[in-house]
Amino acid sequence: MNVWLRRAAGWLAAIGLVGCGDPPTSIVLVTVDTLRADHLGSYGYFRDTSPHLDRLASESLLFENAYATSSNTLPSHVSILTSTYPARHGVEGNFRFYKHPLATDDSLQSMAQRLRAAGFDTAAFTSASALAEPSGVAAGFASFYGTPPYDSVKQRTEFRAEQTVSAALEWLSTAAAPFFLWLHVFDPHLPYAAPAPYQDFFATSPELHAFMRERRIPRHLAGAANAYDDEIRYADAQLGRLFERLRELGPVAIVVTADHGEGLGQHRHEKHSEIWNEQLRVPLIVHLPNGYRGRRTDLASTVDIFPTLSGALNLHLDFGSSDGIDLLAGSRSHLVSQTPVSIEQPRADYAIVGSSIDDTVLRHWKLRTRKDGRHQLFDVAADPHELSNLASARPATRSELKRNLDDILSASRSHPRLAPRELTPEEREAIRALGYAE
């Protein structure tokens, strides 16, 4: 039994798990678009970007090494909701994959569908056109609040966090327990333009330059980091309104995570769609009523969220054919993430992260496999900013991870994927006008 499994077994004894006879606990899932973990106070950031999230984190179990499955909004959210990798669910990009309704197959049921069948009231509040109702994510939600997929001039549309949080609070005022509420806020996605009083909240400082220097981010991008942090602080203030209401409601399980991070100039990428860790490592804060508080440093994937909740809350849901595990019952040895695919880029880059203990030192080896056949290997526990490529120095580690990646991907692909549906002529035209080929 490895050290993590032993420790997890200890945790099980320490956690006040919900008893079998108790009524089900309501669940709130918060996804913050584009939120990289290392810009939050609870993940060690030097700035006070996230006082409300940090307070929640102090009352929760925090996973320091949590990874999104994709650096793209829709694939990553479908992974969270179905507990499967994009290679299994098949939604590997945004608008081009709009046509997949969730759960044409039992194994690809969304958590909303599973919980609704178990008697939960279900509601989703989303803030961006990538997660509009036709994207497929609405499956299983009795109430769905989202932007139009596109407006009358065929632009993508987005809501500010204030609008979406207000809509969720209104729904909560009459919600009957048990419920499952999913809230998605789009800030801090581009454009970085926080409303007052959060605009220009943060200014360039020697600490910021040191943070950027450590990550090899060019100095001239300090303004983008400031504006991105302004948006986090704004989103955090809006989430504070939700958390305050949830505290009044009594015991509710709350999970906060993100669909992906943001480059901000690290590894010469400013946005997202790559598999560097600043784009994949996301916050994962799991708040269980009467549950364990603390931090875990072993690997976690966002596909683990619902199997973990199901175990902790005694929901007895079957995740047998998913890619997720119950993180309170064990630890993962590997996880996989990928880039989005498109007409121009029909093949993805993949990252596999594997955990090992060498001479009592915990290592997280990460292999990046690129479309052009090149591989890069990083010891991300010792080299968190992925500066030193060890692919030539550690050929055995590289080969072992590649074999594991191939096994995981072929197992994922052996399952039926979500079936595409025919686009209406209007959808076809709108998607084309948005600049996305079908």
For binding to Zn ion (CB under 5 A), which residues are involved? 33, 73, 259
Identity of the residue numbered 280: L
Nearby residues of 392 by Cβ (< 8 Å), 6 or more positions away: none
Q: Measured between alpha carbons, how far is 126 from 431 in angstroms, rounded to an integer?
A: 19
- What is the closest distance, in whole angstroms, from the C-beta atom of residue 81 to Zn ion in the complex? 14
For Zn ion, the closer of residues 264 and 288 by Cβ is 264
| 23 burial via Cβ count (<10 Å: 0-12, 13-18, 19+) | exposed
- What is the closest distance, in whole angstroms, from the C-beta atom of residue 34 to Zn ion in the complex? 5
For Zn ion, the closer of residues 138 and 252 by Cβ is 138
Residue 416 DSSP one-character state? P
For Zn ion, the closer of residues 177 and 224 by Cβ is 224
Q: Which residues pair with 362 in a beta bridge?
A: 357
- What is the closest distance, in whole angstroms, from the C-beta atom of residue 340 to Zn ion in the complex? 10
Residue 98 DSSP one-character state? T
CA distances from 210 to 170, 214, 222, 341, 362 (A): 43, 6, 11, 35, 27
- What is the closest distance, in whole angstroms, from the C-beta atom of residue 73 to Zn ion in the complex? 3
- What is the closest distance, in whole angstroms, from the C-beta atom of residue 121 to Zn ion in the complex? 26
CA angle 224, 227, 233 (to 5 degrees): 140
- What is the closest distance, in whole angstroms, from the C-beta atom of residue 352 to Zn ion in the complex? 22
CA angle 179, 104, 82 (to 5 degrees): 50
Q: Is 176 left (phi over 0), alpha (psi -120 to 50) or beta?
A: beta
- What is the closest distance, in whole angstroms, from the C-beta atom of residue 235 to Zn ion in the complex? 13
Instruction: Give the nearest residue (CB) to Zn ion.
Output: 73
- What is the closest distance, in whole angstroms, from the C-beta atom of residue 69 to Zn ion in the complex? 12
Nearby residues of 383 by Cβ (< 8 Å), 6 or more positions away: none
Residue 95 DSSP one-character state? G
Q: Which residues pair with 65 in a beta bridge?
A: 299
Strand-strand pairing, 252-258 and 284-287: antiparallel
For Zn ion, the closer of residues 73 and 147 by Cβ is 73
